[in-house]
Every structure is written in C-alpha cells, then in structure tokens.
Amino acid sequence: MKCFGLIGNPLGHSFSPLIHKHLFGIKNIDASYKLLETTPENLKKRIDELKSGEYDGFNVTIPYKIEIMKYLDEISPEALAIGSVNTICMKNGKVVGYNTDYFGFKRELEYYNIKVEKQNAYVLGTGGASKAITKALENMNANVTLVSRHPKNNIIGYEDLKSKKIDLIVNTTPVGMYPHMDDSPLDEEIASKAKCIVDIIFNPSKTKLMSYNKNSYNGLLMLIFQAAEAEDIWLDKVYDIDYNKIIEDVRGDIGE
C-alpha cells in the first residue's frame, strides 16, 4: 500500500483525505492519506520520512508552501516561477517540489465559466496560494492587484478597495475558515460591488465573505482539481477521470 499525507498546521478543517479516498478509489489504487500536523522544527523530519520510504508523497498547505522549498533537492520550473510548492515526492532519488494549486485554480475558473481576461482581479493575501493564483490570473490576462494588511510597493491595503472598480475578488487568506466562520476579510460594502468572488476556503462551504455577494464560489473544486494533479505526479501517470462524478461524490459526503 502506498502512503501519502498532508503537511500543515492546523489541519482539522481539511477535506483532503476524503477527496484522495475518492480519487484512489476511482483509479483502483491501494493507498492511504493522512493528516500530518507539523511544527516548523519538524519540517525536515517530514522530508526524511519521504526519503526513507515511509511516505510516497506529500501535499503541503498553510503555512509551509514557501518554507518547505529550502528543504527540497529540486523544484519544478513551474513551482519556481510561482514561488511556492504544494506537492512533493521522490524522483530519481531526489526530493522534488511541484505546484498544483495553479492547475487547480485555473480548472475551477474554467469549470464555473468565470472569465478573467482584461478583468480587474484583486487577490487577498500574499502567501503560497496567493502566488499560484496570481500567476494563473496573469497568464489568463487578468489585471491583477495584490491586497494585504501590510501594503507596500505594488501591494495595496484593504481600505484602498473602496475606490476601485472590482470585477473579481479572490480570497487566499484563512480569514473565515472553520472554526472562525463569523470572520470576513472584507465588509459587505466592498464585497457586494465585485462582479464575482472566489473564496478558496472550502470549510465552511459558504463563508461570510461569500454571503456578501450572490455570485460567489468556494475553493472545493480547486482542492479537487489540484489533488488529482498531485496524484498524477506522485504516481507518475496521467489518469483520465470523471471529474463530475468525483465532485458529486465529495459534495454528497460533506453535505454541500
């Protein structure tokens, strides 16, 4: 049996084991997937577990998508260009990092037919997921601006959004994630004027931010699409799977 896991902290909110269970099942792969809450001082230990064969691959989530990079032997050109890693495994005796968030986010936009070309997109947050999403939006010819609590150079502050024409807001921060469902990175005045909101949080399925705008989507599909891409990397094989069935099954299991 192959063994995979998710490195991050905290992880109590994660649907990743459920998603990978469905993906492994549809491919007839005998594998397990574990949540591995990890402290910063134990990151290297996780890499050692990969090298020893205890695990066959990892996903990486908040807050380690950038931090993990210094422990890797190689980083794929795509992940290097993005500046963050969310998938790692052994390739030819080396620990290699990849980024499947880019693929996952792009596929979610395509699935929901969200057009971003020449649209004014504002990305909340500047962490690992933000880097992948910003790169995806730029490559789809959106006009991208980063928004942070610590504005500098080309990064604006949240208050600056009041004067902006907003087509798309993408929340990449954990604000509003379970168990802090009453929190939102934006107030209703700003959120309601966007044409569309994508909140990459998936638990809860409807965040407070999403409740401020009728045309809003959570991050569940991004998670599913990036998970499938990660498995293709781990297993060194591209699988042709029925995404609609996976999405339906996962939504059924979580009651969405």
Over 90: is that where the pLDDT of 12 sits? no
Hey, which CATH number is domain 103-218, 1.10.287.1080, 3.40.50.720, 1.20.1730.10, 3.30.450.40?
3.40.50.720
> pLDDT tens digit string along 132-188?
999 999 999 999 999 999 999 999 999 999 999 999 999 999 999 999 999 999 999
* Banded model confidence at residue 256, pLDDT cuts 50, 70, 90: confident
CATH topology of domain 2-99+221-254: Rossmann fold (3.40.50)
Residue type, 110: E
Q: Which whole number is the average pLDDT over 17-44?
A: 97
Q: What is the pLDDT at residue 13?
A: 82
Segments making up each domain of the chain, as ranges: 2-99+221-254, 103-218
Mean of per-residue pLDDT scores for the chain? 97
Q: Where do we find the tokens 């069935």? A: 245
Active site residue 65: yes
For helices 220-235 and 16-27, what crossing angle results, to 10°?
A: 50
Q: Which whole number is the average pLDDT over 27-44?
A: 97
Q: What percent of the chain has pLDDT over 70?
A: 100
Residue 2's Cα: distance from chain center in Å? 23
Task: List, in order, residues 6 or more apart from 218 with CB less than 8 Å away.
Answer: 198, 199, 200, 201, 202, 205, 206, 207, 210
Q: Alpha helices, DSSP H only, in 112-205?
A: 128-139, 188-191
pTM to 2 decimals? 0.95
Q: Where do we find the tokens 């890693």? A: 85
Catalytic hit among 2, 45, 65, 94: 65
Contact 256, 220 (CB under 8 A): yes
> pLDDT tens digit string along 193-205?
999 999 999 999 9
Q: Which whole number is the average pLDDT over 28-32?
A: 97
Q: What is the pLDDT at residue 193?
A: 97
> pLDDT tens digit string along 93-147?
999 999 999 999 999 999 999 999 999 999 999 999 999 999 999 999 999 999 9
